[in-house]
Amino acid sequence: MKIINCEQGSPEWFSARCGIPTASSFDKILDTSGKPSKQLKKYLYQLAGEKITAKQEETYINGAMQRGKEMEGEARKFYELTTSQKVVAVGFCLNETPDYGCSPDGLVDKEGTVEIKCPLMATHVGYLIEGVLPTDYFQQVQGGLLVTGRKWCDFISYYPGMKPLVVRVIPDKDFHSKLKLEVEVFCMELTDLIVKIK
């Protein structure tokens, strides 16, 4: 794993991940069962455009998303306090190739990562009732583990005034095999597409 030290959301961070498949969008490459996603072609075209122009199109950020970003630091401090673990913020992590990457919300010691979500109240309550890694984040969390090579990820759902949800997720080896293959094929198709349209 190669770490690019920059602040997430900074121009350097956007530049580092421009045109590169990232774990937060691995659900656009394959679904939770390991089958190709219906969004695959659109994502392929998007990244080809980013690679050629060296620009990323602005994405819509609603109030709930903005609030979640603002509360992430509070959630990280809460996790550190309750677990006595130090979380190290990182910018962007690349796999060894380096064709794809991820932006974990933090690295923990030498074996772990954290993925922090600060959802709306009703969503958080739903996560607490289920008590497992929400399906919506399965590819992102497993993708982050694949990229970083870490042994576990603590998925955290945080809402002030309520108990947090902390779920320890370990690598799903079967899914990793499918994910690695599909992402590498996707990267080859991306390279071919860029040559074709440049």
Confidence of residue 115 (pLDDT cuts 50, 70, 90): very high
pLDDT, greater one: 68 or 195: 195
Percent of the chain predicted with pLDDT > 90: 84
pLDDT digits (tens, 9 = 90+) for 44-74: 999 999 999 999 877 666 666 677 677 899 9
Please give the pLDDT value at position 103: 96
Span 118-144, average pLDDT = 97
Q: Which CATH architecture has domain 2-197?
A: Alpha-Beta Complex (3.90)
pLDDT score of 13 more than 90: yes
Three-state secondary structure readout of the chain: CEEECCCCCCHHHHHHHCCCCEHHHHHHCECCCCCECCCHHHHHHHHHHHHHHCCCCCCCCCHHHHHHHHHHHHHHHHHHHHHCCCEECCCEEECCCCCCEECCCEEECCCEEEEEECCCHHHHHHHHHHCCCCHHHHHHHHHHHHHHCCCEEEEEECCCCCCCEEEEECCCHHHHHHHHHHHHHHHHHHHHHHHHHC
Domain ranges of the chain: 2-197
Tens of pLDDT, residues 70-112: 789 999 999 999 999 999 999 999 998 879 999 999 999 999 9
- pTM across the whole model: 0.93
